Amino acid sequence: MKIAVLPGDGIGPEIVDEAVRVLEVLDLRFELEAAPVGGAAYEAAGHPLPESTLQLAQSADAILFGAVGDWKFDKLDRPLRPEQAILGLRKHLGLFANFRPAICYPQLTHASSLKPELVAGLDILIIRELTGDIYFGQPRGRRSAPDGHFPGAEEAYDTMRYSRPEVERIAHVAFQAARKRGGKLTSVDKANVLETFQFWKDIVTEVHAQYPDVKLDHLYVDNAAMQLVKAPKAFDVIVTGNMFGDILSDEAAMLTGSIGMLPSASLNAKNQGLYEPSHGSAPDIAGKGVANPLATILSAAMMLRFSLNQPEAAARIERGVDAVLAAGLRTADIWSEGTTKVGTRAMGDAVVAAITGKTITKS
Ligand code: IPM
Ligand code: MN
């Protein structure tokens, strides 16, 4: 089993270090190989996704990814910005199915900005299509406006598009995931305005015929955003396009009060996957040893389950995380009165201790 380890920028290296330490105590045989990505790769090699990093990712069974991005790169031309690394990996590896669970841990119910009774026991899964939509549609760019309110004026444009096979395959992934969970799928679109999403809705409805045991409903994205804060527990699995999924998954993550806890998986048709925390590179706290490594550690668990066929090892990690939360250990982002504040390394130590059956110490 070969795992490409791509730490990236900001807090990426610190949190990935902890996930790697956790993987190393599992007594499984991995080949771990690290490579630079994002701003770090731009600084080291002049490109956010160097050819050697891409090749390593392509040759691996799974990729453990930290985070990319820093304000200091905002002035670079778009193809050189750190974000292009993750977009390039998604595109080149065909990682079209993005799983973003939003789970409210019982011990963290009070960290949510919503009333505890609205989020207690929350367990929803957002499935975001990741290689199509306005993120990748062509043409895009700047030009002199051919028409509109100000013909001849400078304008910018992007293209929203989906092909039938793209929508069909993500719909199948979503129905299958819903079937394994609560049996309910909500497809989010903007069919009332956008041709692309009327097409999306029609195809999801067609594919539904093959999954009569799954209950399907459709919501417009604006309404979905509202329902997510009104009654989030009414959802089970949500499937949507790249752009809406980007926005709704951040919203859903925040409902749990702890984006620092949420893992994600991006899979291709060969079940090769990229695993990363749902949060970003947090350059403001980088290098301080205070970032929460649990989302990355839980992403490593997802990796074991989805790409490496090691569900037992995945469950061991998840039980370890439960144990450290139960023991009252908290990084700053999830800390509350009466719990013990720890840094990144101590949190990693505690998970390692829990997995290897040693006592969790609060130092
Ligand atoms: C995410 C991020 C990325 C996205 C950026 C960094 C390109 O926000 O993974 O959600 O927009 O997809
Ligand atoms: Mn995002």
**Statement: residue 363 has pLDDT above 80:** no
| DSSP tally for the chain: helices H, then strands E | 12, 14
Using the predicted structure, report yes or no on whether residue 264 has a pLDDT greater than 70. yes
Q: Looking at residue 199, what is its pLDDT?
A: 98
Nearest to 95 by CA among 270, 240, 245: 270
Examine domains 1-95+268-363 and 97-260 and report if their fold is the same: yes
Atom of ligand 1 nearest to the CA of 87: 7
Round to whole Å and give the CA distance between 2 and 204. Answer: 35
CATH 3.20.20.10 for domain 97-260: no
DSSP state of 361: P
Beta-bridge mates of residue 313: none
pLDDT the model gives residue 257: 83
Determine whether the annotation assigns residue 202 to a binding site: no
Q: For ligand 1, what atom is nearest to the CA of residue 276?
A: 9
Neighbours of 195 (CB within 10 A): 12
Q: Is 290 annotated as a binding residue?
A: yes
Ion ligand 2 residues within 5 Å by Cβ:
246
pLDDT, mean of residues 39-50: 97
Q: Atom 3 (ligand 1): residue with closest C-alpha? A: 83
Give me the pLDDT at residue 259, please: 85
The DSSP output letter for 188 is E
Neighbours of 320 (CB within 10 A): 25
What is the rounded average pLDDT of the residues 163-192?
A: 98
What pLDDT sits at residue 282? Answer: 96
Mutate to test the pocket of ligand 1, among 63, 74, 86 (most ligand atoms within 8 A of CB): 86
Assign 344 to helix, strand or coil: helix
Q: What percent of the chain has pLDDT over 70?
A: 99
For residue range 138-175, list pLDDT tens digits in order: 999 999 999 989 999 999 999 999 999 999 999 999 99
Residue-level pLDDT at 360: 63
Task: Evaluate whether ipTM surpasses 0.90.
Answer: yes
Q: What is the pLDDT of residue 110?
A: 86
Q: Between 3.40.50.1100, 3.40.718.10, 3.30.420.10, 3.30.1490.20, what CATH number should domain 1-95+268-363 receive?
A: 3.40.718.10
Task: Work out the pLDDT band at 361, boundaries 50, 70, 90.
Answer: low
CA–CA gap between residue 252 and residue 201 (Å, rounded)? 22
pLDDT in tens, 89-105: 999 999 999 999 999 99
Of 303, 320, 296, the closest CA to residue 13 belongs to 296
Instruction: Tell me what the pLDDT averaged over the chain comes to.
Output: 96
246 is in an annotated binding site: yes
Residue 359 predicted with pLDDT over 70: no
pLDDT in tens, 301-356: 999 999 999 999 999 999 999 999 999 999 999 998 999 999 999 999 999 999 99
Distance in angstroms (rounded) separating the CA atoms of residues 99 and 295: 13
286 assigned to a ligand binding site: yes
What are the φ and ψ backbone dihedral angles of 338, each rounded to 5 degrees?
Answer: 90, -5
Q: Tokens 């459709």 sit at which residue?
A: 218
Instruction: Please report the atom of ligand 1 found closest to the CA of residue 249.
Output: 10
Q: Which residues line ligand 1 (CB under 6 A)?
A: 83, 86-87, 246
Show me where the domains of the chain are located. Answer: 1-95+268-363, 97-260
Active-site residue list: 135, 190, 222, 246, 250
Distance 50 CA to ligand 2 centre (A): 23
Q: Given ligand 1 and candidates 83, 249, 251, 276, which is best to mutate, with the most ligand atoms within 8 Å of its CB?
A: 83
